[in-house]
Amino acid sequence: MKITITPACALLCLLSSAPCVSARNFTAPVHGSDPTKNHIKTAANFDSKGVKMEVCPSGDCKTGKFMQLTVTSLTELDSKGVKVESVTTFKPKDSDWTAIAEETVNGVSVSSTTFVSTVEVGTTKTPVGFNLTAKIFQGNATVLYGSQNLSVPAGSLKFTVDMGIWPFANLANTLSLAIKLDAKGPKGSDIGKPAKKLQASSGKNTTVQRVSMGDSMFMDAPSIVILDGVEKNVTNSSVVTVGADTFFEWVFPNFAKTLHYDPVLGDESVSTSTSTSNGSNTNSSSGSSNDGGTTPTPAPSSSAVTLSISSLAAAGFAVFAYILY
């Protein structure tokens, strides 16, 4: 594994006392016969300027195909889907993603990095902790998420959103998370717009929304979210086009203290990924259900983590997305 910090930014940091915003890069590690690691090719770039993740399944981010995901907004909505509060400006706590670290998840080696920040909500600028953790799996794995077993193929990136207390104006209000999606084929070729497909499996709360990113690339988004340590249904999810841009928006129910959510970015040409109902004792760090799952990832305090987000264009975007479901 190689970790790269942009040289120009490093020089700027030396010449100035101001924080330096850079990019952290991941390349597939070279290893021997370690059973916890497959010979993956995945490369990834993590840019703190817009909390952007770029995943390149072939390992070639210059001329190969890629997926990009950029967090764009957090919006509190009332019962009619009207915006109450919105966060569109995010600054990293320590100017960059954390150093890429190695860990083991269910016997599989994983490389992880976290974007850490604090967003300010409303006129009172209430601080809210928000984590985005990206984990690249170096072997095929199954992780327990609530009542679901999520398959994470070797080379896939599982990202986790963890939030602290949000100052809801009303207990009936919901919270939306919007991300911008983009994908290109080899040499920047057009592979179409991301589109949502429905993947259903038997059992309660076991549906996964698959978003086709084109050229066999995908995002799997579970239909459940872990709120205050309890499994709940996602209120809705939508693919929305605004001008030339495509966004994916989740709407989550109201919560008191913590939110935990786990999507997966992958490539079917590397390994086919599906999700099934919980039928094994596989352990994971992916949250907990109210019927005896694993321990949820602790939500960040107000001084912990957040995503950087750029504005979504129209003020009515959240309402528009809300009624598309």
192-243: per-residue pLDDT in tens?
A: 999 988 564 544 445 788 999 999 999 999 999 999 999 999 999 999 999 9
> Is the residue at 158 inside a domain?
yes
Residue 212's contacts (CB-CB under 8 Å, 6 or more residues apart) are 194, 195, 196, 197, 218
Please check whether residue 157 is in contact with residue 44, taking contact to mean a CB–CB distance below 8 angstroms.
yes
Element (H, E) at 321: helix 317-324
For residue 185, is it within any domain? yes
* Beta-bridge partners for 233: 224
Task: Tell me, yes or no, whether 139 lies in a domain.
Answer: yes
DSSP state of 201: -
Q: Which two tokens stand for residue 269?
A: 């040409």
Distances (CA, A) of 24 to 2, 48, 49, 65, 106: 10, 8, 11, 19, 26
What pLDDT was estimated at residue 16?
A: 35
Buried-exposed string 237-249: b where 16+ CB fall within 10 A, e elsewhere? bbbbebeeebbbb
* Cβ contact 114:148 at 8 Å: no
Boundaries of domain holding 271: 70-324
The answer as to whether 149 is a domain residue is yes
Give the DSSP H/E element, type plus range, for residue 9: helix 7-15
- Give the H or E element holding residue 117: strand 108-121
Enter the tokens of residue 123.
């006129």
SS3 60: coil
d(C-alpha 163, C-alpha 172), whole Å: 18
Tell me if 280 is assigned to some domain: yes
Q: Is residue 64 part of a domain?
A: no
CA 301, 302, 308, 312: dihedral to nearest 10 degrees?
120
Domain count, the chain: 1
- The predicted pLDDT at position 26 comes to 86
Which residues, 6+ apart, have CB-to-CB distance to 22 below 8 Å? 5, 6, 9, 10, 48, 95, 96
DSSP conformational letter for 126: E
In a domain, 238, yes or no: yes
pLDDT under 70: residue ranges of the chain: 1-23, 30-38, 50, 92, 94-95, 198-206, 271-325
Q: What gap in Å lies between CA 40 and CA 57, rounded to an integer?
A: 9
Q: Is residue 187 helix, strand or coil?
A: helix
Q: Is residue 107 part of a domain?
A: yes
